[in-house]
Amino acid sequence: MSRRAPTPEPRSEGRAVSPDSGSRSAPLASPASGETIEAIAPEIADELAVLRREIDAIDGEILDRLNRRARCVQRVGELKDGGRRGPIYVAARERDLVRALIDKNPGPFPDAAIPHVFREIISATRSLEERVRVAFLGPDGTFSHQAASRQFGAQVDLVPATTLRDVFTLTERGDVHFGVVPVENTIEGPITVTFDALVETEVTICSEIKLEISQHLMSRTGRLEDIQKVASHPQPLAQCRQWLETNLRGIETIETTSTAAAAQLAHADDKVASIGSEVTAEVYDLLLIASSIEDHHGNTTRFLVIGRETPAPSGQDLTSAVFTVRRDQAGALHDLLGPFARHGVNLTAVQSRPMKGKPWEYIFIVDMEGHQADESVRRALSEAAAVSASYKVLGSFPRALEAVGPTPGRGTRPVESRPVVPKSPAKGPVR
């Protein structure tokens, strides 16, 4: 986890004071060890000891159940024969498992913590079937790294790639099981490089990730007063401009190729702070100075998990397909989209991209609800293909539950926000 800058402890004469003591008794200094011992009434201490023994026993029961689950997963792996008789990673299964657990949860364990806890349980037991390799747009500490970690957990081999194209190449060749690529952002719009690679390579979309993008200010010392420069990719700098003007007016900003590159600068110089994700702070051993400093909240990036096998229908799926139409055909787009309306298939997005090598001709990327194996979707795709010049299904995959936000329990500093207009458009995805 990311480290947070330490809060200076208040001092008083003759005793140590806890920084978060509030109305509680201050801890007393132990003359022998120098450590602080909390002053607790004997009857409370006895009850605490009983409760702690009960917690220890419950933890032992949890461990027993985890090992029981692990043995079941090992048997599943044997039946699947290392992925040769069935997929190791099934996004819909993991999504539905978490949803069912949240629905069953009576509390007081927080619902928001369930996905994080079970992501790691699933990741650890899945690794008993086979160690999954996942490529992402590197270097370590990027938002793509964060998305891959949130989707697959810690017990996988994450492989940083230099470019988005490299993620596709590694996946297409089978060097990794899956790749994680950004496809669109609620503020910046579509990532065109990803769309082009989806059309041009033989991979399929296996699942989606919606990651809430939150920007954090970090440095080696964790002290705001030490900062003389702030470094980051142009997009985070633009998204945090109002906060920077309010809290660090006049400070020099440095544009870098990625948030990870900015973190490397901050790691090398105590006077440089960087803006990036919590994962960036963890990877580059930086302290968080301020959290969630973006001016416009609700910024979400949608990532795709790409692989080589189409997932089975889950009941809550999306399908993405690409079509070309003849330039000289009047009403071609109308004819292309008509079958989806006739068969009751809801379209969630229609985008156009220039066709390479053919000026003023376009391809159309159509996203729809449902799986290509569903009868209504199958018929609509078949009829649309009949009136198009060419088509390709990019994938049918389980729909993400919701945007994944910061880890529960992380503090934030509220900032009065306003929409931010970047000084210049950023090139490529935020990393």
Same domain, 276 and 338: no
Q: How many helices (H) and strands (E) does the chain have?
A: 12, 18
User: What percent of the chain is modeled with pLDDT above 70?
Assistant: 83
Asked if the structure places residue 34 within a domain, the reply is no
427: exposed, middle or buried (Cβ count in 10 Å: 0-12, 13-18, 19+):
exposed
pLDDT digits (tens, 9 = 90+) for 98-151: 888 999 999 999 998 898 898 889 888 888 887 899 999 888 888 899 899 889
Same domain, 278 and 340: no
Same domain, 304 and 357: no
pLDDT digits (tens, 9 = 90+) for 60-91: 999 999 999 999 988 888 887 755 666 777 87
Q: Are 408 and 110 in contact (CB under 8 A)?
A: yes
Asked if the structure places residue 335 within a domain, the reply is yes
Domain range enclosing 324:
317-398
Asked if the structure places residue 37 within a domain, the reply is no
Please give the residue that has the higher pLDDT: either 98 or 286.
286
Same domain, 269 and 293: yes
Same domain, 386 and 420: no
CATH assignment at residue 417? 3.40.190.10
Same domain, 238 and 279: yes
Same domain, 350 and 228: no
Same domain, 270 and 329: no
Which two three-digit tokens encode residue 297? 């909240």
Same domain, 220 and 181: yes
DSSP-assigned states of every residue in 193-207: HHHHHHHHSS-EEEE
Asked if the peptide bond before residue 108 counts as cis, ω within 30 degrees of 0, the response is yes
Max Cα–Cα distance, the chain, nearest Å:
90
pLDDT digits (tens, 9 = 90+) for 416-430: 332 323 333 334 555
Q: Provide the domain count of the chain.
A: 3
Burial code (b: 16+ CB inside 10 Å, e: under 16) for 232-248 equals bbbbbbbbbbbbbeebb
Asked if the structure places residue 282 within a domain, the reply is yes
Q: Are 135 and 159 in contact (CB under 8 A)?
A: yes
Give the strand pairing for 272-276 and 229-232.
parallel
Same domain, 358 and 425: no
- Its pTM stands at 0.72
CATH assignment at residue 322? 3.30.70.260
* 47, amino acid identity: E
Across residues 171-182, what is the average pLDDT? 94
What pLDDT, on the 0 to 100 scale, is given for residue 422?
31
The conformation of residue 293, written as its DSSP 8-state character, comes to -
Please give the residue that has the higher pLDDT: either 98 or 230.
230
Asked if the structure places residue 19 within a domain, the reply is no
Same domain, 287 and 324: no
CATH assignment at residue 90? 1.20.59.10
What pLDDT, on the 0 to 100 scale, is given for residue 299?
84
What pLDDT, on the 0 to 100 scale, is given for residue 429?
58
Asked if the structure places residue 186 within a domain, the reply is yes
What pLDDT, on the 0 to 100 scale, is given for residue 108?
93
Rg (C-alpha) for the chain, rounded Å, is: 26
Asked if the structure places residue 51 within a domain, the reply is no
Separation between Cα atoms, residue 241 and residue 419, nearest integer Å: 10
Asked if the structure places residue 17 within a domain, the reply is no
Same domain, 306 and 164: yes
